[in-house]
Structure 1
Amino acid sequence: MCRILLVEDAVPEAQALRALIEQHPCAGAIQLESCTFSQVRKRISQGPRVDALFAPVDAPGDRPTCGPDERAGIALVRELQDRGDLPLTVYCTTRAAYTSAVYGTDHQYLLLAPYSPTEARNALDKLFGLLGHRAASPLALRSNGTVHIVDPADVVYVKSMGRKVLVRLSDKRLLESYAALSELEQQLPGSFVRCHKSYLANMEHVVQASSDGLVMDCNEAVPVSQRQYRSVRDALMSFSAL
C-alpha cells in the first residue's frame, strides 16, 4: 500500500490532481489522504508513515523560514528535508517561473498545472518504482493455457515477438504470452524503461549499461537502440541516484 498525502489548499487544481491519481491503474494500492498546508508538518510527524507528498510550490500563508525570494511550499519541503522527515515529493505549481526554484531541494517530480494525465501518470509511476514496487499491481500473464500472476519486481525484461511477448523472470523462468508490449508498458511501474522498440528493461535488475546494451542480473544482455540510448542513460542515472 502506498500512502500519498495531497495538500489541497489550491482548488480546483488539487481536485483535478486527486481525480488523476484516482484514475491511475494502481489506484487500488493507493491510500490517498489530504490536508491543508498548515497541517502537513503535524501529519507527517505524528504518523502513520507518509510515502509520498504532493506539495504546492506557491502554498498559502507566510512561513518564518522562507527566504525573501522563496515560496512557502519550497520552504516546507526544505524544513522536512533538514529534519529527515521528507517523504518522496512531487511539487505542483501553476507558474512555470517557479520551476527552477525547486531544484535546491530533494524531490522526485514537478507537475505544472493544468495537470496533464500523462505527466501525472509518469509522476506516480516513478514514485511506485522508488517505493520498491509496493504499489505495483501484479501482472496476469496467460502462457500455455495457464494464467501466471507475476509481481512486476520479479520481471527482469520483456521482449516483443509479434503478437506475443517473452517475459524473463528473476527465478529464470521465461513466459511466452499473448500481449502487446505497449499494453504491458502501461501496466508496469516506473522502474521499467523502454530501451528498444522491442524491449522493456527493469532498472532494478540492470548491473551494467553501455551504448551496446544492458547487462541484466540474469547474465543476459538486452539491446539499447541508438535512438533510445540517451533517455535510457538518463533514466538509469536518476534511478540509481535515489
Structure 2
Amino acid sequence: MRITAKIKNEMISRLEKIYHDTKSALNFNNPFELLVAVILSAQCTDVRVNVTTGRLFKKAATPEAILSLGLDGLEEEIRDCGLFRNKAKNIMKTCQKLHDDYADQVPSDYDELLSLPGVGRKTANVVSSIAFGRPAIAVDTHVFRVSNRLKLAVGNSPEEVEKKLQKAIPVEKWSAAHHWLIWHGRKICKARHPLCQKCPLNDLCPSASLLETPIA
C-alpha cells in the first residue's frame, strides 16, 4: 500500500477525533516537576513514575531541595524506577545546573533544555511543548512504533521519525498529535499484541495484515 499525503491526512483526522481530549499521563504542578517526571519515565511506566514522584515531591519539589537530599537520598526515593542510579545522577547534575545558572527555574529555550544532563530531544520536546506551549513532537517508544507501522513517518531513529512527522502533520497540531499517537500506541497499537481488528485505522494501515492475529 502506498501511503499518500491524503491517506496521512485521513490518519491524523481519525486520531484527532478519537484522542482529541487526551493529555500527558504524568502528574506535575510546574515545569520542574514535569522535567523530573519525564527524566524518570525512561523505560518506566507513567503509573510507576507518578507513584515515585508523588512520594519524592512531598519531600523535595525544587532543585535546591533535591540537592539537599544528596545522591544517596535521591536514589532511595526513586529506587522503584528503572535505571534509578543513572537517573539519580542526571537529576542531581541537572538540579545543580538549574540552581547555579537559572535561579532554580527550568529554562524555556530549547537548546538550553538540551544542555541539561539527562535531557535528550524527547524530554526537551515534552517540556517545551507542555510546560511552555511551543509546537513540538516528542518521539517516545509508542510514537516511534505507531508512526512506523502506519508509515505516517518511517525512520530508524526517533530523530528521523520526528522530522518526518513534522512534515506530515500541520505545525499547529504537533503537540496534540504527540498525545494522540502515544494513546493509540497504549490502547490499540501495542508492541506485542496490537489490536488490529479493533483499530479505527485498520483500513489505512499497511501493517495491519502482517500484525493481525486471526480469530480462532
State the TM-score, normalized to the length of structure 1: 0.26
Larger radius of gyration: 1
Higher strand fraction: Structure 1 or Structure 2? 1
| Larger helix proportion of the pair | 2
TM-score (norm 2): 0.28
